[in-house]
């Protein structure tokens, strides 16, 4: 079973890397880019077939390691 975890900064949290990307895109001539927010993507391969257990395990992984839940949100998608 494969899963994708997407971690992004919560609204209101400053994103200096996103701001740097935004300015770099403008400098490269890409006009019309409003705001850039950067994040992280984790592609995880899991053994087993129990989708509910996999989802619970992935959420625990995010809460304990993959995301700083004080300033970041995460989304889990199992494929």
Taking the alpha carbons at both ends of the chain, their separation in whole angstroms is 7
pTM of the model: 0.87
What's the token pair of residue 23?
């300015």
CA angle 8, 13, 16 (to 5 degrees): 85
Phi, psi of 69 (to 5 degrees): -70, -5
The residue among 48, 49, 41 whose CA lies nearest residue 76 is 41
pLDDT in tens, 28-60: 999 999 999 999 999 999 999 999 999 999 999
Q: Is the dihedral of CA 56, 61, 63, 64 positive or negative?
A: positive
């Amino acid at each position: 079973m494969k899963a994708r975890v997407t971690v992004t900064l919560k609204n209101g949290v400053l994103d200096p890397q996103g701001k740097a990307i935004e300015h770099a895109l403008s400098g490269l001539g890409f006009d019309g880019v409003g705001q850039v927010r950067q994040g992280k993507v984790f592609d995880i391969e899991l053994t087993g077939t129990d989708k509910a257990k996999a989802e619970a395990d992935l959420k625990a992984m995010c809460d304990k390691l993959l995301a700083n839940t004080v300033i970041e949100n995460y989304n889990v998608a199992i494929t």
